[in-house]
A and B are shown apart, each in its own frame.
Chain A
Amino acid sequence: MRLEREQPWRYLAPAGLLLALVTVYPLAHVLWLSLERRSLLDPAPPAFAGLENYARLAADERFWNALGNTAYFVGVSVSLELMLGLAFALALQRAFRGRAALYGIILLPWAVPTAVSARMWEWMFEPDIGVLNYLLGAQVNWLGSPAWALNAAVLMDVWKSTPFVALLLIAGLQSIPQDLYRAAAVDGASRWTVLTRITLPLLAPMILVALLFRTIDAFRVFDAIYVLTGGGPADSTETLSIYAYRVLFQSLEFGYGSALAVSVFALVAVFALVYRMLLRKVLP
């Protein structure tokens, strides 16, 4: 009997070790670096600095600006993606001719590498010869004005990620038992009642999963913005990841950059925990 109780550990050990090696160790190392005064270009040897980097972070207006930009980007793009994704999913749920082909087409934006689609959008956003202004008959300085640039990045993200949300929700819709709809029809329920009483409650776990993925992804947004604007104009599209790149990879301030990375990690962890709590509530 004793043997049986010991056995799970033996089987879990390799996976646990691997996990410790690839996630726990780097995380602990970054945490340690964030407590050091350490810059590659500084001839002085690295020194323990306690919470100095975090104090600098709290007073760094560029960090707060990046945090604000990131929050805006996450809030607006994820809510638009959810609404549009849900609409697509509901529209595509019924069987009709050419549905498979349509699935393929709406998935295309998700399949294109982000750096490539960002370059494509950069051309479409071009104010003089870009297709967007041509179609709108407008003279919008999409990527060049602080008022528009972040919204332009949101637009591209919505275009790219809505298919992902739609796909997850279609899968969720297909797992809802058809009996419930038949019963509702027999009871003479209106379409609105069916949507709010059957579809949405049963879809809730999938909606939360989609939100979790999208929120974490959008929070770390880097490649699209790096290609579109590089963080400008006037830092208006500088997100936390772009700022962390500047600090870690351009000015090579490893200590401060690590503090920045740790704070991003902490915020993402909070999101994950909140979603987990919500998921527990909606799951039967």
Chain B
Amino acid sequence: MVSRRRFLAALGAAALAGCGRPASERGAKTLVFKHGKLFGDPRALRALIDEFESAHPGVAVHEETLPASSDEQHQFYAINLQARSRAFDVLALDIIWVAGFARAGWLSELGALEPGTFFDGPAEAVTWQGKAYALPWFVDAGLLYYRRDLLEKRGLAPPETWQDLVRIAREVAPRAPGTHGFVWQGKQYEGLVCNALEYLHSNGGAVLAEGRVVLDSPQNREALGLMADLVHRYGVTPASVTTATEEPSRHVFGQGRALFLRNWPYAWRLFQDPSSRVHGSVGIAALPRFPGGRSAPTLGGWQLAVNAASSHQEEAAALVRFLTGEKAQRQLALAYGFQPARTALYRDAELLATQPFVGQLARVFAAARPRPVTPQYVRVSQVLQSGFSAALSGRRTPQAALAHAHERIEEILDAA
């Protein structure tokens, strides 16, 4: 099998050689940094990398962009890392991959995190068996968008609990013809897991606790039950939510056809566009909770890590520390509108002055919860997607769906 590994590694190297490194960099240590496409001017990131290069003479950094699809990036990394490819040194990882890659031994340890430097959610997600295998770069978390104009007209405050949301949606939406109460992402895909966990977590529920499956619990039954009731009992969410991903739900809200929307922070900018039909009438709030629970937006975002097979361990770790450092995160936040993973930046005057929206998010990110941190996450997610979708589309009762998924996840963890 060694020959196969070598073959794959050679294949990866050949693909990279095609991209070509400048001749002037030969002889120097060249770090290859793999990341997904950044939406915005690539020069901002390059400027930071130039700064790193001048601080580290003899080290050159070569950036390489991966395809935008998350599945494809995951495959690319897994195939190359498994083959111990040295074709890249530093990589950007989706938050849900870290545990799996760390257990496989593909990432270098980066020491312990100083408590409080990063938000708790990302800090938990990059930690595997007590050690950090990646450093948080950017964070993302679910938010509640609401039509401020429609709520203010009736003197209503944004909802604190899911029950408030139902009440307000049933009161306000019917008076605005063609307006749905609440839209979110209910298609059978990763986004559905993000949405559903926000209900479970905000009712004190969870999927895993200390390595055990705790999915089939009274809290989770109540939470998933309410999520299904939004569609089938209260009618505040259209039945077609079972086909909705981020963009279609954003369009519905952006065209003024919904009172509430659950989405990621990226939608904010798009609603601020003067040509947007809801321009100037959108508010944001923390996602609702159950009485007695706490708002629990699902965490997303990107982390930087070092390829364990890289022959430039020290330099690669230095680059990761530099790019996830306070200064770099500030620059990148200013340039790309990403939300930094470092808590201190949410008190940064320059950042808050230019991006007041980011300031409002500190509370949301502080409460954000990672998806179950397990090396088997991809398989666990496939089971959850199927179970949550069955509950929402009425194919199973929430109770039956949870009990069924609970058993399947136990099988996966037992077999591993």
Residue positions of A touching B, CB distance < 8 A: 40-43, 45-46, 62, 126-128, 141, 143-146, 229-236, 246, 249-253
Nearest A residue to B78 via CB reads: A40
Q: Smallest Cβ distance from A252 to chain B, in angstroms?
A: 5
| Contact between B395 and A234, CB atoms less than 8 A apart | yes
Residue from A126, A128, A141, A251 within 8 A of B242 (CB atoms): A141
Whether A233 touches B393, Cβ cut-off 8 Å, given contacts A144-B240, A250-B71, is yes
Residues of A within 8 A of B74 (CB): 250, 252
* A251 to B393 alpha-carbon distance, docked (Å): 25
B217 at the interface (CB under 8 A from A): no
| Contact between A40 and B393, CB atoms less than 8 A apart | no
| Contact between A41 and B378, CB atoms less than 8 A apart | yes
Bitwise, B352-382 to A at CB < 8 A (1) or not (0) is 0000000000000000000000010011001
| Contact between B240 and A62, CB atoms less than 8 A apart | no
| Contact between B75 and A235, CB atoms less than 8 A apart | no
Listed by A's residue number, 10 A-B pairs whose Cβ atoms lie within 8 Å are A40-B82, A41-B375, A62-B386, A144-B186, A232-B242, A235-B188, A236-B395, A249-B75, A250-B378, A251-B379
* A151 to B243 alpha-carbon distance, docked (Å): 15
* A43 to B240 alpha-carbon distance, docked (Å): 41
| Contact between B240 and A146, CB atoms less than 8 A apart | no
In the complex, besides A43-B103, A230-B187, A233-B395, 10 extra interface pairs with C-beta distance below 8 angstroms are A40-B78, A126-B240, A144-B239, A144-B242, A144-B393, A145-B242, A231-B188, A251-B378, A252-B74, A253-B379
Q: Smallest Cβ distance from B259 to chain A, in angstroms?
A: 15
Q: Smallest Cβ distance from B228 to chain A, in angstroms?
A: 12
| Contact between B382 and A246, CB atoms less than 8 A apart | yes
Residues of A within 8 A of B393 (CB): 144-146, 232-234, 236
Whether A233 touches B242, Cβ cut-off 8 Å, given contacts A250-B74, A252-B78, is yes
Whether A249 touches B71, Cβ cut-off 8 Å, given contacts A230-B188, A234-B390, A235-B386, is yes
Residues of B within 8 A of A253 (CB): 379
Residue from A40, A41, A229 within 8 A of B188 (CB atoms): A229
Nearest A residue to B242 via CB reads: A144
Please report the total number of B residues contacting A with Cβ < 8 Å: 38
B45 at the interface (CB under 8 A from A): no
| Contact between A46 and B1, CB atoms less than 8 A apart | yes
Residues of B within 8 A of A146 (CB): 393-395
Q: Smallest Cβ distance from B306 to chain A, in angstroms?
A: 18
Q: Smallest Cβ distance from B101 to chain A, in angstroms?
A: 8
Residue picked from A128, A232, A252, most chain B C-beta under 10 Å: A232
Whether A230 touches B78, Cβ cut-off 8 Å, given contacts A128-B240, A144-B243, A251-B382, is no
Bitwise, B180-192 to A at CB < 8 A (1) or not (0) is 0000001111000
Residues of B within 8 A of A145 (CB): 239, 242, 393-394
B325 at the interface (CB under 8 A from A): no
Residues of A within 8 A of B75 (CB): 249, 252
User: Which B residues from 156 to 195 make CB contacts under 8 A with A?
Assistant: 186-189
| Contact between B240 and A234, CB atoms less than 8 A apart | no
B38 at the interface (CB under 8 A from A): no
* A146 to B1 alpha-carbon distance, docked (Å): 43
* A128 to B238 alpha-carbon distance, docked (Å): 9
* A233 to B79 alpha-carbon distance, docked (Å): 30
B396 at the interface (CB under 8 A from A): yes
| Contact between A229 and B240, CB atoms less than 8 A apart | no
| Contact between A41 and B395, CB atoms less than 8 A apart | no
| Contact between A141 and B240, CB atoms less than 8 A apart | yes
| Contact between A41 and B187, CB atoms less than 8 A apart | no
Residues of A within 8 A of B375 (CB): 41
Residues of A within 8 A of B243 (CB): 141, 143-144, 229, 233
* A231 to B390 alpha-carbon distance, docked (Å): 12
* A40 to B389 alpha-carbon distance, docked (Å): 27
Residue picked from B1, B187, B252, most chain A C-beta under 10 Å: B187
| Contact between B241 and A144, CB atoms less than 8 A apart | yes
* A62 to B395 alpha-carbon distance, docked (Å): 15
Residues of A within 8 A of B394 (CB): 145-146
B104 at the interface (CB under 8 A from A): yes
Residues of B within 8 A of A233 (CB): 187-188, 242-243, 389-390, 392-393, 395
* A43 to B78 alpha-carbon distance, docked (Å): 11
Residue from A141, A143, A232 within 8 A of B389 (CB atoms): A232
B204 at the interface (CB under 8 A from A): no
Q: Smallest Cβ distance from A259 to chain B, in angstroms?
A: 15
Residues of B within 8 A of A246 (CB): 382
* A233 to B241 alpha-carbon distance, docked (Å): 10
B105 at the interface (CB under 8 A from A): yes
| Contact between B104 and A41, CB atoms less than 8 A apart | yes
Residue from B79, B240, B379 within 8 A of A127 (CB atoms): B240
